[in-house]
Amino acid sequence: MHDLVHDLAQYVAGNERLSVKGENIVVIPERVRHVPFDSSLYCEFPKYLINAKKLRTMFLPSETGPNFGLSVEEAIPEKGIGGLTSLRIFLLLVNVELKSLGDGTQNLTCLRELVIWGCPKLASLPAGSRRLTSLEHLEICYCKTLGRV
């Protein structure tokens, strides 16, 4: 039964979901909306994700590479995450060195869900976070130095 439900979900999603395993992708097709990103396969954030303008879901689980301890804006090149204006769900999990989300996150006006979990050095959210007018769900756990929300 599980396989049948899984196959149906894959059929309905069509090619809106792309599972990436390695650095062999240069461009994400325009129709793709959801990309599970396995940071254990990369030493820095893959640039092709920034160019996925219609990306709706970004899932960044735990850091492994040297650039993942920077702010999200520094780890994500070029225009930063603020250029992903269609992003609706942003999950940032277990990044023990992350200190800042960066000001570009305030441009994510379509963002509905923001989950930050296990970022003990995260000191504050960007001052412009109040511009996230579509935000419906904010979950922050295990961020012990977070002083301002």
Q: What percent of the chain has a predicted confidence (pLDDT) above 70?
A: 60
pLDDT score recorded for residue 78: 45
* Degrees to nearest 5, angle at CA 61 with 131 and 122: 50
pLDDT of 93 > 50? The answer is yes
Residue range 21-31: mean pLDDT, rounded: 66
pLDDT at 130 > cutoff 80: yes
Q: What is the 3-state secondary structure (H, E, C) of 26-83?
A: CCCCCCCCEEECCHHHCCCCCHHHHCCCCCCEEEEECCCCHHHHCCHHHHCCCCCHHH
Mean pLDDT across the stretch 58-87?
63
Give the per-residue pLDDT at 65: 47
What is the structure's pLDDT at 10? 54
Residue 53: what residue type?
A: K
In the chain, the domains with their CATH numbers are 2-141 (3.80.10.10)
Give the lowest-confidence range in 33-42, 72-81, 137-146.
Answer: 72-81
- Find the range with the poorest average confidence among 11-15, 41-45, 109-113, 143-147: 11-15
Please tell me which residue, 133 or 53, carries the higher pLDDT value: 133
pLDDT tens-place string over residues 46-65: 667 777 778 888 877 665 44
Average pLDDT value over all residues in the chain:
74
Residue 136: pLDDT above 90?
yes
Instruction: Supply the pLDDT for residue 102.
Output: 77
